[in-house]
């Protein structure tokens, strides 16, 4: 094996786009649909889609427990949009009974940017990802996106919205091997987020070799 294996949770959502972005960054990609699929992965991406549907499917396919165990065991996981919701320890505006995998010590508000706006692009301040006023800006696509309304002490803020009414809102975070963005880098063609996640995956992968 010459590169880490990254799983993409393939129950629902933009699985294909994440798979392509990861492959473009040099990862071997496998689709994860059953608990046994987790055995071969060095990292996992939770795609965007609909977190309430994914929650139901995770429970139906008996993946919720194994995923919680893997996160607790230190598996690197990156969640985008609905995937960010799935990684959050606490959610606001979830549907009744909605569960998450958890692991990220954050509160995430679903559909926080307002239901009237389905999809838009924003410029971000993201110095930790090599984006800021002097650097090429990170342009992020948001689709019925959440934001992070509260972070625990171990959480590093990676990006905030730089302009407009949502300026200052937290939209990308990292905590240990977990990373999450409210936006969709897999459809903007900017691979900085996937590369940053793969750097985390590769560190763990190399340590096991
Ligand atoms: N609003 C969706 C949810 O609650 C997330 C949207 C997305 O992933 N693009 O799951």
How many C-beta atoms surround the C-beta of residue 135 within 10 A? 11
With tokens 């798979």, the residue in question is: 19
CA of 177 to the centre of ligand 1 (A): 22
160: left (phi over 0), alpha (psi -120 to 50) or beta: beta
pLDDT tens-digit profile of 70-116? Answer: 999 999 999 999 999 999 999 999 999 999 999 999 999 999 987 65
Instruction: Using the mean position of ligand 1's atoms as its centre, give its distance from the Cα of residue 55 in Å.
Output: 12
Q: C-alpha distances in angstroms, 67 versus 46, 124, 158, 173?
A: 11, 30, 24, 20
Q: Please say if 25 is a catalytic residue.
A: no
**Whether residue 181 has its Cβ less than 6 Å from ligand 1:** no
Considering only CA atoms, which residue is closest to atom 2 of ligand 1? 50
Global pTM value: 0.94
- Strands of 55-200, DSSP E: 77-80, 88-92, 104-109, 119-125, 138-143, 147-151, 156-161, 170-175, 178-181
Tell me: the pLDDT tens digits for 151-203?
Answer: 999 999 999 998 888 889 999 999 999 999 999 999 888 889 999 999 999 98
Q: Please report where in the chains the tokens 């625990």 appear, as a residue.
A: 152
By CB atoms closer than 10 A (0-12, 13-18, 19+), residue 208 is: exposed
Q: Which two tokens stand for residue 121?
A: 């692009």
The finding on whether 49 has its CB within 6 A of some atom of ligand 1 is: yes
| Domains, the chain | 5-207 (3.40.50.880)
């Amino acid at each position: 094996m010459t590169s880490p294996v990254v799983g993409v949770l393939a129950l629902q959502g933009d699985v294909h786009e994440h798979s392509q972005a990861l492959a473009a960054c040099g990862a071997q990609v496998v689709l994860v649909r059953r608990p046994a699929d987790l055995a071969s992965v060095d990292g996992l991406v939770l795609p965007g889609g609909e977190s309430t549907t994914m929650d139901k499917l995770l429970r139906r396919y008996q993946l919720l427990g194994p995923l919680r165990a893997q996160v607790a065991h230190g598996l690197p996981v990156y969640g985008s949009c609905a995937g960010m919701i799935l990684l959050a320890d606490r959610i606001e505006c979830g549907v009744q009974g909605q569960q998450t995998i958890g692991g990220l010590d954050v509160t995430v508000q679903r559909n926080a940017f307002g239901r009237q706006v389905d999809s838009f692009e924003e410029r971000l301040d993201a110095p930790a990802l090599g984006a800021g006023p002097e650097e090429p800006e990170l342009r992020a696509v948001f689709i019925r996106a959440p934001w992070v309304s509260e972070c625990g002490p171990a959480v590093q803020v990676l990006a905030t919205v730089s302009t407009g009414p949502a300026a200052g809102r937290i939209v990308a975070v990292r905590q240990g091997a977990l990373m999450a963005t409210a936006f969709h880098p897999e459809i903007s063609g900017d691979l900085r987020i996937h590369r940053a996640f793969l750097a985390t995956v590769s560190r763990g992968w190399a340590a096991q070799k």
